[in-house]
Structure 1
Amino acid sequence: MTRHIPFLFVFLSFIPFNGFSQQGVLLDELSNAYADASIPLLKELLGIPNDAFYPEDIENNVGWCEKEFGERGFLTRRISTSQAPLLLAERKHPKAEKTVLIYLQLDGQPVDSTRWFQENPYKPVLKRKKSNDEWEEVDWDAENPIEDDWRIFARSASDAKGPVAMFLTALDAAASKKIVPNYNIKVIMDFEEEMGSPRLPEAVTMNAELLKADMLIIFDGPRHISNKPTLTFGARGIATITLTTYGPIVPQHSGHFGNYAPNPALRLSKLLASMKDDDGRVIIPGFYDGIAIDPKTETVLKNVPDNEDEIKKRLQIVASDKVGAYYQEAIQYPSLNIRGMQSGWIDEKVRTIIPGWARAELDVRLVLESNPERLIQLVKRHIASQGYYVTDTVPTSEERLAHHKIATFTSEISYQSFRTDFDSEVGIWLTSALKNAFGEDPIRIRMSGGSIPIAPFVTTLGIPAVTVPTVNRDNNQHSPNENLRIGNYREGVKTMIAILMEKL
């Protein structure tokens, strides 16, 4: 059953912010009190399984959101698609002249429960780090206050149910102080983001008038590695490629046919290796065409306070690839990444065979200056240039006997990149809100390396978009033992209260 956050008496003056004044301290008190009181709400949301491959679980998430937003004065309606619906929640405010559209994600990556250090990834666990850097579980009902560096471990704790709970809590905190935004709010909730939101573009096109707004805020993603308040003004898009090479029609005994039957794993390895140099740069001609870092952009990128040594230490790498001279520059370019490979068997299932096939899954991160179709075709033509007969289906017996090297190539363009100017209305407004909340300018990042499927909103609706990330960067999103730092949850609530208070 949904728990209501109790009304908390925290005094908050209504004098406009002037730097990080006494009001900023009082905002801390309000946000911390409501964040801590809303932990049961967060636990409840995290306890609902949300793998989009299971429609019945997604339906439970949709129903939960309908109830919670409805109780906070929003009118909700489902936007039907061929699979999971989108959910739109809308609340109008007196004398509001503008409308802010907020994007929230509710689904999560699939889980491999055998690799989680807890009973169930959908049963949130509170943990603290011991002196030996190992995590130990803490009783939720312990009398001691929960510390900022403790963490909640659960699937989607950071990506991205944590921000959903933060926003609902911020709404409750604002209501307790009779803070009414001077803009209308629309919230669009996506339940298939981890699948690439395949039905989102059509849904946005078909419901453009319903989704109409002046700007878009995305509550998703991790803060800068320094964990300081952050705004991100763009994101790379994403396309995917599945590439399969072939050997014998079925796996063969390596003693009988080693040195005779071609090995598809070796062929695939050499084919992939031919796409990049030893420094990680794509060497397919034309892949980086159109991208130039001018002096103004260089200044913007270098204003991000990255510590390259610290980044390498966290990744435990000695040197980075050389696509860019430093991290922020590197993510301004399209990428070609091997996200997974499979052929034969390994570990306890290993066997002495020549595999029948080898497969690689690739992702291509997109930037505005690059045409996605063109990049896909460059990769496909490169494969053909290496002597492969390229097809989009499993080869027939006739094709196998006619061609020495065969590759099956399929691709999908999920969504394009987006970028918003720092000095846009939404950029200036959000920068002011975060500065008022935290007493200093937020870190402003031109473009994140990851992808968010909101390009249809930018292109179809013609509105600028900015991401307001709140979670800790070391959160293991998409991986086992995903977590959310308590301090980030508290500051995330503070961030969203500040946005609700900021006049537009």
Structure 2
Amino acid sequence: MKTFLALLLSLPFLTIAQTNYDTQINEVLSKTLKQHRELVSIPNLPADPDLMLKNISWVQEKYKALGFKTSLLESSTLTILLAEKVYDPEYKTVLFYVHIDGQPINPMTWNQEDPFTPVLKEQDAAGNWQAIDWSKLDGNINDEWRIFGRAAADDKAPITIFLTALEVLQQQNKTPKFNVKIIFDPEEEYGSSALLSTLATYKARYAADYFVVMDGPAHDSNKPTLTFGCRGIATCAITTYGARLPQHSGHYGNYAPNPVFRLTHLLSSMKDEDGRVLVDGFYEGIKITPEAAEVLSSVPYSKAQFNAALGIHSAEKVGDTYQKALQFPSLNIRQIGTSWTGEGLKTVVPEYAVANIDVRLVPETDGDSQLEKIKKHIKDEGYYVIDRDPTEEERLTYAKIAKFTGKTSVNAFRTPTDSEFGKNIRGRLVEAFGENPVTIRIMGGTVPIVPLINTLDIPTVILPMVNMDNNQHNPNENIRVGNIRQGIKICLALLETEF
């Protein structure tokens, strides 16, 4: 069997001359950036349905101008926009996904007056970002300039990029090599409840042969990136108990059990010092084949640079590289609290201690099953496990009591990297850029639309195009201009891919 990289090198598309889209992109880049500015200027927090509808209307008008049929689909909350166009009834259909909402903002933490008033900036010699006039877009455009604003990268950059690619094709009197459907999700940042509520009703409207999710950041090398899966997530909370009420640490220290120490002993039993999870069966069913290992090793990676960027001496030992670590489920303690939640400190033995945990899932692991394994581990450590606060009788009957509650939000998905779908896209990107794209077997984060992927049951890839350092979800979110330029080229290559 040919290895992954050997297979790529043997494919005939590698001998084709590099496709040159650069001239067309240069001609439209200024217009694209101005369109992007216009869209980012519309606040997109789902808490304001009127403004969300304004975002949807902006996009809808752009797609109508390209001859797309647009539909506003009712959901449990906000309206879903679906745009679709049949270029040839004999073609395959590709469904695209973007989200139109953004994360909440705290204007006081941004380095500009209004996060929804985008600012064009360049970096000075000291590395600080300084505002420059938008009129500079009418001259030579520097790829290192950035546009700062909420949703500038996540996810209004992909919306603008894909729109521009379709406009360029139309200007060239060309059409995509497949039929196109696009879902615009109004609540991705809040769990995609609107979209997921429509699956039963509109499954036939969403039906396609392939699915492309245009979200997330590209590899930190900023090379074209294809991601073939994402991890899922389950969450749980573990609460341990001391006395019925918080007790004075002077009077009752050394007598009333401290639930924090009990909790920390329990948590430390779940992982070794190298970060490997000790819960029985936690990694069950996971095998890294030689073919998968070669895909993982093809991703550019420097352990020294990666650790320096994180500010850590060394990584946990679940995998010997970052990509390999992502192939396993994780057990993360995201917050620990006690019964005291006010300001300042008190000299008390707390009434209870609670650890909030998230478990990142891979396709080999089911969320409910992983939570049951954690629950069993707690029992094996000698705890009486319940899903509520203990009764008075239980407090007097059991020495160690733990409340355990959990839920699976979404499981993982992964499309084989050697699927025909993946190979076709990869081939077009090689033709356009002259080198292999970075191929990510599975990314660490979770997209909430995995139930849609499972419902449609079609090959799916994630096509991330924005810069990794875009401050996603954080103050001073930004998009690098060069990533918009490159993203248009990626989309043009994709739109001319034959399936």
Q: Paired residue for 1:500?
A: 495
Cα gap change, 1:265 to 1:66, in 2 (>3 Å): farther
Q: Is 1:468 aligned with 2:463?
A: yes
Cα gap change, 1:489 to 1:249, in 2 (>3 Å): farther
Equivalents in 1 of 2:28, 2:392: separation in Å?
A: 66
Say whether the 8 Å CA contact 1:158–1:475 is kept in structure 2: yes
Task: Please give the secondary structure, in 1, of the residue aligned with 2:130.
Answer: strand
Q: Is 1:330 aligned with 2:322?
A: no
Letter in 2 for 1:376: L
Q: Paired residue for 1:5?
A: none
Equivalent residues in 2 for 1:66-465, closer than 5 Å: 66-142=60-136, 145-198=140-193, 200-247=195-242, 254=249, 258-343=253-338, 349-354=343-348, 355-395=350-390, 403-465=398-460
Deviates more, 1:109-118 or 1:276-285: 109-118
Equivalents in 1 of 2:116, 2:378: separation in Å?
A: 42
Question: Residue 482 of structure 2: which of 487, 500, 503 is its match?
Answer: 487
Say whether the 8 Å CA contact 1:233–1:465 is kept in structure 2: yes
Say whether the 8 Å CA contact 1:31–1:497 is kept in structure 2: no
Letter in 2 for 1:78: L
Cα gap change, 1:297 to 1:42, in 2 (>3 Å): same
Query: C-alpha root-mean-square deviation of aligned residues, in Å?
Result: 2.8
Say whether the 8 Å CA contact 2:17–2:431 is kept in structure 1: yes
What's the TM-score, normalizing by structure 1? 0.87
Task: Return the offset for 1:287.
Answer: 0.2
Task: Return the offset for 1:179.
Answer: 1.8
Question: Can you give the 5+ residue segments of structure 1 that lack an aligned partner in the other structure?
Answer: 1-15
Task: Return the offset for 1:108.
Answer: 2.6
Q: Paired residue for 1:33?
A: 27
Task: Please give the secondary structure, in 1, of the residue aligned with 2:206.
Answer: coil
Equivalents in 2 of 1:330, 1:449: separation in Å?
A: 9
Cα gap change, 1:409 to 1:224, in 2 (>3 Å): same
Say whether the 8 Å CA contact 1:35–1:166 is kept in structure 2: no
Deviates more, 1:306-315 or 1:453-462: 453-462
Task: Return the offset for 1:101.
Answer: 0.4
Task: Return the offset for 1:226.
Answer: 1.5
Task: Return the offset for 1:100.
Answer: 0.5
Equivalents in 2 of 1:146, 1:217: separation in Å?
A: 29
Question: Can you give the 5+ residue segments of structure 2 that lack an aligned partner in the other structure?
Answer: 1-12
Task: Return the offset for 1:258.
Answer: 4.6
Cα gap change, 1:83 to 1:474, in 2 (>3 Å): same
Task: Return the offset for 1:201.
Answer: 4.5
Deviates more, 1:268-277 or 1:298-307: 268-277
Task: Please give the secondary structure, in 2, of the residue aligned with 1:338.
Answer: strand
Equivalents in 1 of 2:400, 2:45: separation in Å?
A: 38
Equivalents in 1 of 2:164, 2:473: separation in Å?
A: 25
Cα gap change, 1:181 to 1:266, in 2 (>3 Å): same
Cα gap change, 1:193 to 1:400, in 2 (>3 Å): farther
Cα gap change, 1:410 to 1:158, in 2 (>3 Å): farther
Q: Paired residue for 1:48?
A: 42
Equivalents in 2 of 1:360, 1:52: separation in Å?
A: 30
Task: Return the offset for 1:219.
Answer: 1.0
Cα gap change, 1:18 to 1:295, in 2 (>3 Å): closer
Equivalents in 2 of 1:35, 1:242: separation in Å?
A: 49
Cα gap change, 1:195 to 1:241, in 2 (>3 Å): farther
Task: Return the offset for 1:213.
Answer: 0.6
Equivalents in 1 of 2:346, 2:464: separation in Å?
A: 48
Task: Return the offset for 1:373.
Answer: 1.3
Equivalents in 2 of 1:411, 1:49: separation in Å?
A: 34
Task: Return the offset for 1:248.
Answer: 5.6
Give % identity.
44
Say whether the 8 Å CA contact 2:115–2:149 is kept in structure 1: yes
Task: Please give the secondary structure, in 2, of the residue aligned with 1:39.
Answer: helix
Say whether the 8 Å CA contact 1:103–1:188 is kept in structure 2: yes
Equivalents in 2 of 1:168, 1:78: separation in Å?
A: 18
Task: Return the offset for 1:116.
Answer: 2.6
Q: Is 1:62 aligned with 2:56?
A: yes
Cα gap change, 1:124 to 1:270, in 2 (>3 Å): farther
Cα gap change, 1:250 to 1:45, in 2 (>3 Å): farther
Cα gap change, 1:189 to 1:251, in 2 (>3 Å): farther
What's the TM-score, normalizing by structure 2? 0.88
For residues 50-94 of structure 1, give each alpha carbon's deviation from its aligned partner in whole angstroms, at most 9, with x where no partner exists: 344554554443343333333332222233332234322111113
Cα gap change, 1:112 to 1:324, in 2 (>3 Å): same
Equivalents in 1 of 2:156, 2:336: separation in Å?
A: 30
Aligned length: 485
Task: Please give the secondary structure, in 2, of the residue aligned with 1:484.
Answer: strand
Deviates more, 1:107-116 or 1:492-501: 107-116
Letter in 1 for 2:379: A
Task: Return the offset for 1:321.
Answer: 0.7
Say whether the 8 Å CA contact 1:198–1:414 is kept in structure 2: no
Task: Return the offset for 1:334.
Answer: 0.9
Equivalents in 1 of 2:63, 2:239: separation in Å?
A: 46
Equivalents in 2 of 1:362, 1:109: separation in Å?
A: 22
Letter in 2 for 1:326: T
Say whether the 8 Å CA contact 1:99–1:185 is kept in structure 2: yes
Equivalents in 2 of 1:41, 1:340: separation in Å?
A: 41
Task: Return the offset for 1:343.
Answer: 4.0
Task: Please give the secondary structure, in 1, of the residue aligned with 2:135.
Answer: coil
Task: Return the offset for 1:135.
Answer: 2.4
